[in-house]
Amino acid sequence: MKCFVTIILDGINNKTFWKLMKKGRLPFIEELSKNSKIYKECITVFPSATVSGHASISTGKFPAEHGLVGQAWFDRERREYIGYDFELTMPDNWVDASTNLNDEHLTAKTGFEIAKELGLRTFSVDLVRKGADLKMSFIKPGEDKGFTSSKLMFLRKFARHTSTKKSSRIKKLLKKVFPFHVLQHEIAVGNTIRAVRSGCRFGVTWFMESDAVSHLYGPDTFEGEHGKRYLYDSAEDAVRDADEEIEKLYKRLSEMYDPVLAILTDHGQSRIEKGKKYRVDLSEVFEKDGINAFTNIDPHEYEKRTGKEGDVIYAVSGPRMAHIYLLKDVLSEVLDVLLSLSAVEFVFFRDGDGLKIGCDGEVTDFDDFEFGEEYPYAKKRVIGLMNNERCGDIVVSSKRGYQLERSDYHGGHGGLNYEDSTGFALIHSPHQKEEIVDRCMVTDILPEIVGMMVERR
């Protein structure tokens, strides 16, 4: 009998992944791939961000349809800023994510609901969990009972790969000293095993740390060049730790079932250049032109705090993409600012009925615009976002090397470029022969799994 587990490896750069594979640093995934359908490139949706990506993986739909148009957006009707940015400093967003994200904002049918119709009990160790029978936490052992930011902070600090005997001794020691604070990948695996053992045969599991480490140190960082042992301080650390944990998971699942394992990224990640000019604060930029702009708070809160009326509210994802909402009639002023901003690559907006694109200071009809190979599936990804009323009046994506936030991160995503958009995917099942496919989209994986669930009977 089969069980079906999808593992989301967060934010791994495609080139980094294949470099590690070629060097033999991911021995278990390599082993698994001999009985897998392997997609050399897995392209995400737009924005290339966690919330929209996970929702697309779990529904097989684009953001226009599933409704999660980014890490954050502005609810025009309620005049509320909706934020799902999983920043350690924003615990409120975590609390929101455990409730509204699924109950209120996700508008498409999930794999959990489909699997249930096929008679399977389901679980989620992911932020998307609508319809799952078992909602497990992805940051602490057991079922989800809410989030706390202090635990996350701890996880980030002490998570690291365990490829030497010595390091696993340290891991054991850490667990002894801090019994409730084990490591995120390990927790994800532990909770997945618990769920499958209790009878769940379909689920999604989130490995978070590859994204966090790529932001912190850069998506193209390797051990030996940048890293210290025993701490996550390179992208390689997190991906190798994931490889080890997936091996553990697979072995335990194999004792109970024939495991069908889909492993994929929710998006890629690209390097942010050093220097202040690459880290743009949109509020500051707009302010220089006399436009009152703000983010992260509701308009009434902005007015209360500043005594000013807001012209523009914006919501950043990745942070290389932003939704921009006009609170006043300032479209042409805002476009002028954005079209001349060195951080901005593309500007999308509606003019009458038609979608327009601004690029290199010029505005043209979206239908006439040709994206190059550097922007995989860009056209259908932009349309797959913009056809939702939660989208900004204007949507922007960044040029390579830039981000739309002041933070000191060395990696970012959200944009349409290759690095932000591209990861990898594989679907393993015990009797599958190795099959190599060039490219898929994150939305293609669920339908394949559903096909296999139907076939199983």
Contact residues toward Zn ion (CB under 5 A) are 10-11, 50, 211, 266
Residue partners of 329: CB distance under 8 A and separation at least 6: none
The Cβ of residue 273 has, within 10 Å, a number of other Cβ atoms equal to 12
| Distances from the Cα of 289 to the Cα of 282, 292, 402, 405, 406, angstroms | 11, 9, 21, 18, 19
Q: Beta strands of 76-216 (E only): which ranges?
A: 80-83, 122-125, 134-135, 202-207
Q: Of the two residues 14 and 50, which places its CB atom closer to Zn ion in the complex?
A: 50
Q: Of the two residues 57 and 293, which places its CB atom closer to Zn ion in the complex?
A: 57
Q: Of the two residues 349 and 409, which places its CB atom closer to Zn ion in the complex?
A: 409
Whole-number minimum distance, CB 265 to Zn ion, in Å?
Answer: 8
Strand 354-359 relative to strand 422-428, pairing: unpaired
* Cα–Cα distance for residue pair 153/94, rounded to 1 Å: 13
Whole-number minimum distance, CB 174 to Zn ion, in Å?
Answer: 25
Partners of 315 in the β-ladder: 323
Whole-number minimum distance, CB 102 to Zn ion, in Å?
Answer: 17
Q: Of the two residues 211 and 236, which places its CB atom closer to Zn ion in the complex?
A: 211
The Cβ of residue 174 has, within 10 Å, a number of other Cβ atoms equal to 18
Roughly what angle, to the nearest 10 degrees, separates helices 149-158 and 209-217?
Answer: 70
* Cα–Cα distance for residue pair 256/411, rounded to 1 Å: 39
CB-closest chain residue to Zn ion: 50
Whole-number minimum distance, CB 411 to Zn ion, in Å?
Answer: 11
* Cα–Cα distance for residue pair 162/392, rounded to 1 Å: 44
Whole-number minimum distance, CB 220 to Zn ion, in Å?
Answer: 17
Q: Of the two residues 239 and 347, which places its CB atom closer to Zn ion in the complex?
A: 239
450 Rama sector, left if φ>0, alpha if ψ -120 to 50, beta otherwise: alpha
User: Residue 100 belongs to what H/E stretch?
Assistant: helix 100-100
| Distances from the Cα of 184 to the Cα of 71, 249, 380, 436, angstroms | 21, 14, 34, 30
Whole-number minimum distance, CB 439 to Zn ion, in Å?
Answer: 19
Whole-number minimum distance, CB 155 to Zn ion, in Å?
Answer: 16
Whole-number minimum distance, CB 138 to Zn ion, in Å?
Answer: 12
Q: Of the two residues 137 and 317, which places its CB atom closer to Zn ion in the complex?
A: 317
- Indicate the DSSP class of residue 433: P
Sheet holding 344-351, edge to edge: 293-294, 312-317, 321-326, 394-398, 344-351, 354-359, 362-365
Q: Of the two residues 90 and 339, which places its CB atom closer to Zn ion in the complex?
A: 90
Q: Of the two residues 133 and 220, which places its CB atom closer to Zn ion in the complex?
A: 220
Whole-number minimum distance, CB 240 to Zn ion, in Å?
Answer: 18
The Cβ of residue 145 has, within 10 Å, a number of other Cβ atoms equal to 10
Q: Of the two residues 211 and 245, which places its CB atom closer to Zn ion in the complex?
A: 211
